[in-house]
Structure 1
Amino acid sequence: MKVKIKKYTAVATWRWENSTSDDVCGICRVQFDGTCPNCRFPGDDCPLLNGKCGHSFHLHCVNDWIQTESSRGLCPMCRQKFEFDSGP
């Protein structure tokens, strides 16, 4: 049996990865259970912060990011206005 393809249409999709399902900080790329670049030991008062956009970061990383002029208050992953998610 031979099959002859006369025509095909390729379809592709993509999406931003959601950091809450990821286990690394979107800024420093260090695992959440590790230390951010500003901390010496895991758990040094550097909690995980979630944005309303769904991305998560170390406290120190997102604070440093928001204070830079180039951030303009936007999420470094999706470029939406970054607002902290206070939870359900």
Structure 2
Amino acid sequence: MKVKIKGWKGVATWKWVANDENCGICRMPFDGCCPDCKKPGDDCPLVWGECSHCFHMHCIVKWLQSQPVNQQCPMCRQEWKFNNR
């Protein structure tokens, strides 16, 4: 018996792999996007700090701009440094 495939449609999904499900600043899911973005994905990336906390890039940038003297992680209050994995 032979089977002939007439058509094939591939389906894929993606998911950010983070230490939490939601951004600690905007509380939106990482699978979605921050309040400033319209679509999730490359335009709304996640960033990690050396403290291993993860946020939407736009959220942490706004947070750091609002903290001109002591730029700290909003979760653990350690000095914020981007983790260059």
TM-score tier, shorter chain, comes to: 0.7 to 0.9
AA paired with 1:33? D
Give the match's secondary structure for 1:69. Answer: coil
Q: Residue 22 of structure 2 corresponds to which residue in structure 1?
A: 24
Q: Residue 52 of structure 2 corresponds to which residue in structure 1?
A: 54
1:1-88 paired onto structure 2 within 5 Å: 20-43=18-41, 45-69=43-67, 72-87=70-85
Q: Residue 7 of structure 1 corresponds to which residue in structure 2?
A: none
Compute the RMSD of aligned alpha carbons. 1.6
- State the Cα distance separating 1:23 from its structure 2 match: 1.1
- State the Cα distance separating 1:70 from its structure 2 match: 6.8
Matched positions, count:
68
TM-score with structure 1 setting the length: 0.70
Structure 2 unaligned segments of length 5 or more: list them. 1-17
AA paired with 2:56? H
Contact 1:51 1:85 in 2 (8 A): yes
Structure 1 unaligned segments of length 5 or more: list them. 1-19
Q: Which stretches of structure 1, 4 residues or longer, exceed 2 Å deviation after superposition?
A: 69-72
- State the Cα distance separating 1:43 from its structure 2 match: 1.8
TM-score with structure 2 setting the length: 0.73
Percent identity reads 51
- State the Cα distance separating 1:22 from its structure 2 match: 1.1
Supply the distance in 2 between the matched residues of 1:55 and 1:69 (Cα, whole angstroms). 17
